[in-house]
Amino acid sequence: MKNLLLLSGALLLLIAVAGCGGSKILKEPEPLVVTQSLANSADESLSVTLDWVIVRDGPGTWAKNVDWDEYLIRVRNVSGDSLRVMDVVVVDSLSTRVDSGANRKTLVKGSRQTKRRYKGEGLIVKAGASAGTMMVAGAVTGAAAMSVGAAAVFSSSALAGAAVGGLVLAPVLAVGGVFRGVNNSKVNNQIEIRQTIFPVDLQKDEEKNLDVFFPLSPSPLQLELTYGDSRGNHTLIIDTRAALEGLHLVHQTK
């Protein structure tokens, strides 16, 4: 009986921690080789190129179980004067303007709101769904866009202390919460390191890379990039309909 309790406790611990949710840094990012951009636009002052969008389990991803998008954008000043990029906004398929997020908590909250909003329209949103159009548009090669399963490693001493009499549930939840908290903190730190802080100044002929995080934005229609120069403020539109059609939307069969 004692051995059975120990075994049951160990199994519960494995299940709880492996399925505790939350995002986690991958040991190795998914490889990403993009041979052509997804979309681009330009006016007399600024050229903008959307190189890629990192989504859950897709090429370029560095964490699993993510509920947000990471837009990799290049901007180049083609004017004869300096300018300042002030903001980038995504417009999703319901024509809702989605602001970028500065941290994991904001991004996850925004994605939950998106899922509720789309559910109200009878649509199902799932992170990373229907990303095939983007793969073709970007002509991705050498990318292992596969789902990463949950995994956990435990020491024998941790398993041995998993169950004491009938008190199994409390320690299981405690351990799961600790692992989740640590993983989420590491992911948040990485987001803060990677993200671009606006405004971004561009001198004449200068090019810079922007790394911008957004809550899930299903099948986005366009990006709106706001910049300013000596003539005032301007908005440049990047049409993403062809490259990102259907992204994050689950196709329902009747």
pLDDT at 141: 55
Q: Where are the domains of the chain?
A: 25-150+188-239
Rounded CA-CA distance 99/107 in Å is 10
At residue 227 the predicted structure's pLDDT band, cuts being 50, 70 and 90, is very high
CATH number of this structure's domain 25-150+188-239, picked from the four choices 2.40.50, 3.30.70, 2.60.40, 2.10.260: 2.60.40
166 or 97: which leads in pLDDT: 97
Entry pTM: 0.76
At residue 131 the predicted structure's pLDDT band, cuts being 50, 70 and 90, is confident
Q: Is the pLDDT of residue 176 over 50?
A: no
User: With contact defined as beta carbons under 8 Å apart, do 110 and 98 qualify?
Assistant: yes
Sign of CA dihedral 207, 241, 37, 71: positive
pLDDT at 28: 85
